[in-house]
Structure 1
């Protein structure tokens, strides 16, 4: 109802454009307000910034903007990252399309605009399982360690983590579950492993349901919610302490969740639901970022190193020397390893599985329930 009233008010303003007390700036400003209504705070801030830049550059009202104006503005993006270029243009295109759809703009001049093609660099922002484990182990503060664990195991966005309240968590044996109100106003449920759930429960103390899960030292208008910038610093410090020479952000742990779970055999649709992706195509990007196979591996290519190795092997056979066993790096068997299905310790080795780190990890079969598994990422006590 409120949206309809706003729309009628806008149409009335447009009908009075010929009067001297109504300016094009007022009309554009009101249009932008209605366009942003209902979007998340982060999206509103980003879109406002992009549209303001365009309006300051074009110096004309939106109903006078042409396709040539958009193309000329796009030509000024030299030096910006491809992702930033697409974001700037996507914001303006969305506004112009919305204005035309509700009748505020005569045409949608952005329809003829071509978006620049960009290189997919997702693979550059994916951590290995060893790197994630090192980050978690390096963080000794209980709250900060729980933040890293939840970003990774829950696949949360940083704003979703900061918005968590204790009422969003509930026990679900053997672990627990969290209810997330995420991007696009969608609610999803994420199950947590038992070790992660126990880590979170230790942080509650005397907190009530409306209190934030992760508490800041400084109080704000919402209570004591941890700021997103502080989470960024916590993740960056953990990466530095783990010896990772990359600008790691909280979203990297979300990328790691998707990649590692898919590599361990999680169904694509399950990863999509856990991460809250609108389309399975978004989730499938992780399959393309770290493929398990490539036709390049089937080619018969010899370098000097492989040639020398082959020659040495032939000479060894001719000299009838005993063949040396090939060594391979495997995952050590923890002494307290249990079957995730029935908790039995009666396990037998059952081959290997290649994970995201490129190494072969030992798989096990439970002699009690016949469940086959690869040990999960170890979580420090």
Structure 2
């Protein structure tokens, strides 16, 4: 019965146009939830949810973000099974933290570390100059790149929305160099970035590439594709870009999501003040 329920849940998520990464994560979390329940009956009550919340926080030691993912997965699963959703099935509120980002010197060092590899250089350039999500980069096809116009079309990004991102001259040059190599590779895949197996990259492989490059560049911070996305947005804001313009480039559905970067700007102002404060 569990297998049938999982298969039905997967079909439901596909119908909801969820990304393949969300589908994979939700199914994994729901399998864990069903194992936690330890019974064939799927219907749950508030007591079950309270026990599950305690299980996630105490026994599994999940962060708030992971707890939100698990509870959202269970909520979607119950809906797919047309079961009632208990009132207490609400994820914990997220912590409002200032996003981590690279300094201009660190970003330059990362670009230089990638310069000897045309594929890595194209990846890093796209993250730092366009603010792409790692899943969006993995989903890019060759046909999505328009070098003449200096744009890339992101298809079915987060929230199943298409959008345009802009490449500056340096980014377009790095992508062009990689495309010349990519087009010489015989493959049935339409993917822009191909792994050694000549297949589309998954997100974990790209994250590993960025992590290794950061280590080679001598950057002590934990560097991920999302940190590079934050770096792009932070730099744009510090250079005077309008926050609604940044919202469009990042593909945020709400301006409230983009406003996390205003806190960074305030911190930058304070750092600048401390550097140049009057010393009488």
1:136 correspondence with 2:73: no
Q: Distance in 2 between matches of 1:230 and 1:243?
A: 20
Of 110, 124, 127 in structure 2, the residue corresponding to residue 148 of structure 1 is: 124
1:215 correspondence with 2:197: no
* Unaligned segments of structure 2, at least 5 residues: none
The structural deviation recorded for 1:210 is 7.0
Q: Which has the higher contact order (CA 8 A, sep 6+)?
A: 2
The structural deviation recorded for 1:94 is 2.8
- Higher relative helix content: 2
Judged with a 3 Å threshold, the aligned counterparts in structure 2 of structure 1 residues 93 and 177 are, in CA distance, closer, same or farther, namely same
TM-score, normalised with respect to structure 1: 0.62
1:95 correspondence with 2:77: yes
Q: Distance in 2 between matches of 1:293 and 1:228?
A: 31
1:1-381 mapped onto 2 (5 Å cutoff): 25=2, 28-29=5-6, 31-37=8-14, 38-61=17-40, 64-77=43-56, 78=58, 79-97=61-79, 99=81, 104-105=82-83, 107-109=84-86, 111-123=87-99, 125-139=100-114, 140-172=116-148, 176-181=150-155, 182-205=157-180, 207=183, 211-220=190-199, 225-292=200-267
Q: Distance in 1 between matches of 2:43 and 2:138?
A: 42
Map Cα deviations across residues 145-170 of structure 1 (whole Å, 9 max, x no partner). 12101111111111211222221111
Q: Distance in 1 between matches of 2:111 and 2:210?
A: 10
Map Cα deviations across residues 78-135 of structure 1 (whole Å, 9 max, x no partner). 2222211121112112333454xxxx22x321x2345334433343x22222211111
SS at match of 1:246: coil
* Unaligned segments of structure 1, at least 5 residues: 1-22, 298-353, 361-381
Q: Distance in 2 between matches of 1:29 and 1:148?
A: 37
8 Å CA contact 1:216, 1:227 repeated in 2? no
Q: Distance in 1 between matches of 2:7 and 2:163?
A: 33
Say which one has the larger Rg.
Answer: 1
- Higher relative strand content: 1
Q: Distance in 2 between matches of 1:198 and 1:94?
A: 43
8 Å CA contact 2:140, 2:191 repeated in 1? yes
The structural deviation recorded for 1:287 is 1.5
The structural deviation recorded for 1:75 is 0.6
The structural deviation recorded for 1:172 is 4.3
Q: CA RMSD in A?
A: 2.9
The structural deviation recorded for 1:45 is 0.7
Q: Distance in 1 between matches of 2:136 and 2:80?
A: 28
